[in-house]
């Protein structure tokens, strides 16, 4: 009969600990990438938004698509980050609340401005008449999107109606990122 020293972990316990560690590391990597996604720095806003759309389709089963109009250019880093965060929050709302099967991100480059529209075919909601009324309805994520756009001199509008989906439109004045 073989007696095992109880101070040594069993192989099964070690494997469970390894699996927990692998899962924790993967979660931390996702969290860090969400803070400032590498694609945003290295490849720009268009690639980062493509990543969000692909991720929503793969993970959530909600068909997400990015459409780019105009001549793509790299806005300044703060404008890229604001637009990325607005898209991220809008898509999180689609995932959590909309019961949608499709989402569309439309990124339109204009001289001196960029406009991004995120729309879905979900259940919609009764949008308040004024952005300021969002706080009383508990829609803090929408307030955050509004504040991100406003901080950079932009605008954000929300169109929603029960049974007709939701459309979030952000328009930011931008100067192209300067190289050099």
**What pLDDT, in 10s, does the model give residues 64-118?**
999 999 998 888 999 999 999 999 999 999 999 999 999 999 999 999 999 999 9
Dihedral sign computed on CA atoms, order 76, 174, 109, 144: positive
pLDDT at 16 (0 to 100): 85
Distances (CA, A) of 138 to 15, 62, 133, 159, 160: 43, 25, 9, 17, 16
| Stated length of the chain | 180
Q: What is the distance between the alpha carbons of residues 30 and 27, in angstroms, rounded to a whole number?
A: 5
- Average pLDDT along the chain: 86
pLDDT at 120 (0 to 100): 97
pLDDT at 12 over 90: no
Q: Predicted confidence band at 62 (pLDDT cuts at 50, 70, 90)?
A: very high
CA-based nearest residue to 116, from 96, 87, 145, 141: 87
Least confident range of 7-16, 78-87, 116-125, 147-156 = 7-16
pLDDT at 10 over 90: no
């Amino acid at each position: 009969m073989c007696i095992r020293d109880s101070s040594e972990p069993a192989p099964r316990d070690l494997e469970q600990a390894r699996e927990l560690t692998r899962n924790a590391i993967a979660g931390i990597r996702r969290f860090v990438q969400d803070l400032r996604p590498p694609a945003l720095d290295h490849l720009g806003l268009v690639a980062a938004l493509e990543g969000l759309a692909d991720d929503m389709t793969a993970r959530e089963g909600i068909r997400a698509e990015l459409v780019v109009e105009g001549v793509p250019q790299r806005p300044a880093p703060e404008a890229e980050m604001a637009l990325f965060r607005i898209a991220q929050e809008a898509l999180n709302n689609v995932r959590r609340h909309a019961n949608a099967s499709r989402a569309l991100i439309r990124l339109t480059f204009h001289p001196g401005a960029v406009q991004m529209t995120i729309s879905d075919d979900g259940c919609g909601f009764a949008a308040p008449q004024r952005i300021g009324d969002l706080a009383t309805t508990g829609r803090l994520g929408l307030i955050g999107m509004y504040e991100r756009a406003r901080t950079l001199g932009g605008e954000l509008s929300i169109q929603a109606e029960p049974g007709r989906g939701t459309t979030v439109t952000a328009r930011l004045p931008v100067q192209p990122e300067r190289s050099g």
